[in-house]
Chains A and B, each alone.
Chain A
Amino acid sequence: MPAGLFRALLTVAGAVAAIVLAIGISSVAIVAVGASPADAFAAFLNFGATEKAVSTSIADMLNRAVTLFIAGLAVAIGFRMNLFNIGVEGQYRIAAICAAFVGSTFVAPAPIQITVIIIVAAAAGGLYALIPAVMKVTRGVNEVISTIMLNYIAINLAAFLVRGPFAGERAEGQLTTSTPVLPESAWFPNVNALLEMFGLPAPRGDGLWGFLIVAILLGVGIWLVLERTRFGFEVKASGLNAPAALASGVDPKRMVISAMVLSGAVAGLIGLPEILGDEHAFGSNFTPGLGFLGIAVALLGRNKPAGIAVAALLFGFLDRAQGPLQFADVPPSVITIMQGTIVLLVVIANEITSRIALRREERRAAQALGRNTPVEVAA
């Protein structure tokens, strides 16, 4: 078996073992709060009684997964070169409000309108990530600290902008403020047709966000960049061994700037599925916390797009059960416990499986060497 395939299979086996173990640990937590694990797991699998309800549940899960997937990608780009962009949270909020506001200021044909909004979002996220990148290469400021600080600034700045300069008209009796509503040409069409292909009726509400398609293309694109291009190779080399990358002609400053900006640009897109597909504005009740969840998703997915997709789907699956869990009298915080234990256990499983893989390769290398051992002890 080729070494690469063996490593991949081992990784999957480790992840499955970790998830099984996490279900076990979560059961203990569920019992401890006086609920029934059987009820809880039934709730996770309960997608609703009618076809319409099932369809809506699936759309909810996929919609959640789309945003988490993009968030995971953004974090993973930095992680691949040991650059800890904790600032995805702030970058996506700044980008979301800028894109929502700019998109509401003009009307153009839908493809142009949407493209402009996407570009504005990516640019805003990328520029906001440029700040910690420049601080790191010029003054050596640790990006973890600077991005965390910039998160606070971004969150409060977005809150200020949505109430002040970027605020739209507030409808009578509405408690929240938001940016002006986007023209209809910026409304991303849903892809309920995908569900219908599987014989499911259109879900309630806004349906399955069309941004799913963009996210898939983005995932493929990021995979190509990271795994197949020279830039991706330099990212990997910088992450695995910075002095060796330097000696091989990789400019570390350029790498920090470009990886950080790319990470921020992808982060800028996290809010768009919701804005373009559902809310059609950035409101004060805009979904928070996706950037932080993205860190967990990237860890779980081992910083690889395919892995991140699986992790995002898993998190989306768990998050969807908010409602059913409450109906089943199980505290929904069980979801957080499960997500936490899964991430922890997967990190442990990764460590174990990579050691197993290494030991196997060392043995195989030793066999190859064994053709005329022992060279070392000829004396």
Chain B
Amino acid sequence: MTNDALTRPGGTARADRLLDRNHDTGGAKVKSTRWRALLRKPETSSFIILCLAVVFFTLANDRFLSPLNLANLLAFLPELGIIALGMTLLLTAGEFDLSVGAVFAFCPVISMLLVQHAGIDLGLALIVGFALTAVIGLANGLFVTKIGISSFLVTLAMLLLVRGSTLFATQGFPLASFSGETILKPLLAGSFYVGEVRFHASIIWFALLAALAFYVLNYSKVGNWISAIGSNRNAAIARGVPADAVKIGLFIATSLLAALAGTISALRISSASPVAGDQYELEVIAMVVVGGTALTGGRGTIIGTIIGVFLLRIIRNGIVLVGVPGLAFNIFVGGLILVMLVVHAAMQKRSSRA
């Protein structure tokens, strides 16, 4: 890069204008502003609500923290969580993807069909499945950036196309998942015990991918570009940021993450269903937004998304445990999302005024 230009002496330096008043911020003051900054973060309020939910459900039903319930909770949670990571980056860049739920079903179904009908190896079939998934992401990205159609419409159409193709290819029937011996199965959907709680490999994948996404968004060069594109696309382009390429890359990454989650799920339950992942797109977007990422772009948080994933899953799980009828639980989830959004909006207003 052109950093050498910065260290060049002379130039426009106007050192005579050094006017650094009130520089003596005492230690205590720094500490208190740091606390206030922490409190003002959207993740903090989500985290507090998450803690309250855990405490509430634990008190309401002692089975909430039982090994069996925790295992159930953690088996399912990473699959949505992995999609949510991609969605967070995409939302931060100002776009979103409604086709993730359809892709979640598409990749394992196509791979299993290849295994069953073409008789090819699962590994190879998955490579084909993921390659097709990448094409779906690429198509989303090209339509949004090069033709300039809103991502809402493009990915809504893609949702129907992909879900329709998956249903048609299987005639609507679920496929028995791969039963032979392969390294992929324990790698993607194996399980292990920590104490009495059974964990699935997916939680490790989720943790690793979350760490990667956290690094990318907060500490890498492209992370700076992602936030800048979502915040002010024209400004980013004027600074030479390849905005279209970044967005296309994010669409592809989001599709691939949804495909990975779908594959993990199919291997775990030994069934690739063409209706798997129905409405996951909305659940995932809700998780991301509840965590504090702005739906309008520019402001994204991976920590918040992780909190949002746990919060929504725990509430779904806990509401059933405390005896709310299954059919009623969307009422609570909807209410909770609204409350979180109001809290974030109120904090956002306050911080921009400060």
A complexed with B: no
A interface with B by C-beta (< 8 Å): none
Chain B interface residues (CB < 8 Å from chain A): none
